[in-house]
């Protein structure tokens, strides 16, 4: 799953959530990924919450016109009205993070109104003083929440998927957070998407080994053409991973 992190209308990528660099036009990248075999696409307006504004619905609409794969949108979503706007713009699923931490009942509300299959809870996790800690506001703000407990709570509240990003691994290209991801995958009954740290094809095979993740998301290696999605899926098939070709 390619991820488009959006800032000022452009796709960006950083390391450990900082030092962002431009990675291209999001509409062009989305079209490319849909054409080259991506299973799903994720769009995260990474500064919407910090800037206290709504997600860029017009950009979502432009991307949706170019793709034919499931499309998850996150950033600045705080109400059912926000979700309706984005679904009408072409999103298939929405992702909430900071707003869910601030108001956990939002997860229940959205699941009741739109269905659990529509509700993805994104968890940005950093290892702090021996614990995996949930962060909000684009990774800027630590919370008292522990990652595994929060994931279980949002599952119980009706979330349909967890998008787990390891802030420690993000952008490092040293591999996914296999242990943390496996803890969530094997303790929850909903899909867990691993995010943060992909650097080469082998890292995807590692995170899928032992069923430690249900899906794997990456950004820079796709944006900068370091890994081709079709080649990656062929490689995974050869490694015994069940993928759609």
Helices (H) and strands (E) in the chain, counts: 10, 12
Pairing of strands 215-217, 161-166: unpaired
Active-site amino acid positions: 5, 124
Q: Find out whether 147 and 184 touch, Cβ atoms under 8 Å.
A: yes
Q: Find out whether 2 and 34 touch, Cβ atoms under 8 Å.
A: no
CA-to-CA distance for 56 and 131, rounded, in angstroms? 34
What are the angstrom distances between the C-alpha of 35 and each of 14, 51, 69? Answer: 25, 33, 10
């Amino acid at each position: 799953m390619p991820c488009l992190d959006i800032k000022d209308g452009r796709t960006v990528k950083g390391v450990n959530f900082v030092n962002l660099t431009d990675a291209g036009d999001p509409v062009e990248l989305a079209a490319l990924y849909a054409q080259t075999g991506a299973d799903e696409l994720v769009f995260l307006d990474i500064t919407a919450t910090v800037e206290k504004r709504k997600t860029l619905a017009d950009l979502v609409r432009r991307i949706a016109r170019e793709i034919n794969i499931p499309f998850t949108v996150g950033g600045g979503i705080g109400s059912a009205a926000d979700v309706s706007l984005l679904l009408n713009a072409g999103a298939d699923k929405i992702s909430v993070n900071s707003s869910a931490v601030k108001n956990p009942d939002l997860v229940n509300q959205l699941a009741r109104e739109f269905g659990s299959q529509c509700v993805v809870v994104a968890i940005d996790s950093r290892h702090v003083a021996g614990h995996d800690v949930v962060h909000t506001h684009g990774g800027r703000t630590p919370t008292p929440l522990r990652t595994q407990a929060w994931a279980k709570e949002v599952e119980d509240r009706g979330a349909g998927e967890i998008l787990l990003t390891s802030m420690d691994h993000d952008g490092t290209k040293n591999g996914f957070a296999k242990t943390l991801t496996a803890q969530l995958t094997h303790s929850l009954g909903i899909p867990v998407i691993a995010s943060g740290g992909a650097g080469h094809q082998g890292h995807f095979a590692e995170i899928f080994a032992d069923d430690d993740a249900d899906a794997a998301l990456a950004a820079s290696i796709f944006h900068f053409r370091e890994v081709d999605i079709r080649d990656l899926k062929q490689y995974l098939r050869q490694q015994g991973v069940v993928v759609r070709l």
